[in-house]
Amino acid sequence: MGNILKFSDRATERVRFEALLRPHMARLFKLACRFTGNVPDAEDLVQDLLIKLYPRCVELEKLEQPAPWLARVMYRMWVDQRRRYHRSPVIFAEDLVQFAQADAAVNHVGAVSADCPAQRYEREYSRRRLQQALYDLSDDHRTVVLMHDVEGYSLNEIGDILDCAVGTVKSRLHRARACLRQCLDDGTF
């Protein structure tokens, strides 16, 4: 026989990879959206994550809790991208309007609400200010707020994902919230 086709190896490479990753994709995508602030960059980040992980299927299978590990890998990739971005002398115009997609979603939500126009406008205005205040935070502070207050990760999970002490996470969260409150402290919140 010229060649024994390695069914188990070949089959598992694709099928097992997808079986491992699919249950986590929705949450990873949401997290990517929170990190990047827009859909195209979030899709790129998730795509890069899959490309990076595809050859590491065996390593993935050995993980007892893949969810925080996946989030950690994606977070590091995002941090690397941000570093490269900050080193770059070029800033693209579309990067100046981050959260535009989220704003569009807000508009859509507002459009189907039964509230009166004044209430819709007020809520939308508040959300836009909150998104802008989030965007004005440092990356570290914004990340912990988005992961904890928006996405609901626990402090321990965040410490694990960001590879830092829980005390550090608490401290960043405290400062970030204080900054947000200060930015928004006109009675709106």
Token pair for 103: 């704003």
x/- letters, 60..99, toward another protein (CB under 8 A): ----------------------------------------
Question: Does 167 interact with another protein (rule: CB under 8 A)?
Answer: no
Question: Does 4 interact with another protein (rule: CB under 8 A)?
Answer: yes
Question: Does 112 interact with another protein (rule: CB under 8 A)?
Answer: no
Q: Which residue lies nearer to another protein by CB, 76 or 175?
A: 175
Q: Which residue lies nearer to another protein by CB, 72 or 149?
A: 149
CB 140 within 8 A of CB 172: yes
Q: Cβ contacts of residue 143 below 8 Å, gap of 6+?
A: 35, 75, 162
Length of the chain: 189
Question: Does 54 interact with another protein (rule: CB under 8 A)?
Answer: yes
Which amino acid belongs to residue 170?
Answer: K
| Shortest Å, Cβ 176 to another protein | 10
Question: Does 5 interact with another protein (rule: CB under 8 A)?
Answer: yes
How far separated are the first and last CA of the chain, in Å rounded? 74
Q: Which residue lies nearer to another protein by CB, 138 or 188?
A: 188
CB 137 within 8 A of CB 180: yes
Question: Does 111 interact with another protein (rule: CB under 8 A)?
Answer: no
Dihedral sign, Cα of residue 178, residue 180, residue 185, residue 189: negative
CB 110 within 8 A of CB 127: no
Question: Does 182 interact with another protein (rule: CB under 8 A)?
Answer: no
Which of 47, 119, 138, 156 is the binder for another protein (CB under 8 A)?
47
| Residue 38 burial (CB count, 10 A) | 19
Classify residue 65 by its DSSP letter: -
Question: Does 114 interact with another protein (rule: CB under 8 A)?
Answer: no
Helix, coil or strand: residue 156: helix
- The residues binding another protein (CB under 8 A) are 1-8, 10-15, 17-18, 21-22, 25-26, 29-30, 33-34, 39, 43, 46-47, 50-51, 53-55, 101-102, 104-106, 109, 126-127, 130-131, 145, 149-150, 152, 170, 173-174, 177, 180-181, 184-185, 187-189
